[in-house]
Amino acid sequence: MARFADLAATLGMLAHALWFALRGLLRRLLWSAGAILIVACVLAFTRLPYDAHRWLGMAGGECLSAPRHVVVLGGSGMPSGPELLRLHRAADAARAWPSARLLVVHPGDPAVLQAMVQELVLRGVEPARIDTANAGDNTREQALLVRARIAEGRVAIVTAPENTWRSVLAFRKVGMGGVCGLPAWDHAMFHEFRYGHAAIGGKAWAPDVSERTALRYTFWNYLKLEVTCLREYAAMAYYWINGWV
């Protein structure tokens, strides 16, 4: 029994020592997390998240002349907002450059790929102009796939704005020099969204934010943009480490 009592006392002392050692680290982590949250909230009241996101879409160079191929990089479900935005952008490009061929690249369920093709056809793209590739699980693999399919000619890459810079650099890395970006921007609704707080039954004791559209919408949208941009910068760092850009 004495042996078990000694063991319990020893484990208790080790646990106390471990807690004492980690307590300072845990406190610093909590302070750091709080500081990061405060900085993120402050930045969301500025236009820096918007500018960072726009820079990611334009840093690789936008297409200023007619390409030979328009490549649509998939990666979302269908229908979904990101995928439909890319297809809308690709259809616009097909109308602007009637001699360009389209290559739709999407991994996974072939039915999703077919739905993407049907969306392009619905938007006026002739089926004979559309090629497909049911593969490519990340941007690097998509770049290698397209490089094997397209031997030469200027290529326009249609993808999400935050992914455009990395995509253009990844395609150039595999030897495709004439690559430019066609970021699939979404379009903001130009409406004030003000309302009468009391007129629609708002409580007198509840904060009246009817005139504060920046707080109701812009602040939260910019917080999401911060996360989107941070994720993309992390992905770019990973691609740089691997020598893919």
Q: Tens of pLDDT along 52-104? A: 999 999 998 888 889 999 999 987 888 898 899 999 999 999 999 999 999 99
Q: Which of 30-39, 208-217, 233-242 has the lowest mean pLDDT?
A: 208-217
Please determine, for residue 118, whether its predicted confidence score (pLDDT) is greater than 60.
yes
pTM: 0.85
Question: Domain-by-domain residue ranges, the chain?
Answer: 65-183, 190-245
Tell me the C-alpha distance between 214 and 196, whole Å.
16
Which distant-in-sequence residues (6+ apart) come within 8 Å of 64 by Cβ?
180
Q: At what angle do helices 81-96 and 110-122 cross, to 10 degrees?
A: 50
Structure tokens at 138: 């990340």
How does the average pLDDT of the chain come out, rounded?
90
Query: Bigger pLDDT: 22 or 88?
Result: 88
Determine what percent of the chain is predicted with pLDDT higher than 90: 62
pLDDT, one tens digit per residue, over 4-14 is: 566 666 777 77
For residue 9, the model assigns a pLDDT of 67
Q: Is residue 29 a contact partner of residue 115, using CB atoms and an 8 Å limit?
A: no
Kindly state the average pLDDT of the residues 99-125. 95
How far is CA 182 from each of CA 61, 107, 211, rounded to the nearest angstrom? 9, 20, 36
Per-residue pLDDT for 2 more than 60? no
- For the domain made up of 65-183, the CATH class stated in words is alpha beta
Structure tokens given for 132: 């497909």
Identify the band that residue 227 occupies on the pLDDT scale cut at 50, 70 and 90. very high
pLDDT of 163-219, one tens digit each? Answer: 999 999 999 999 998 899 999 998 877 778 888 888 888 888 888 888 888 888 899
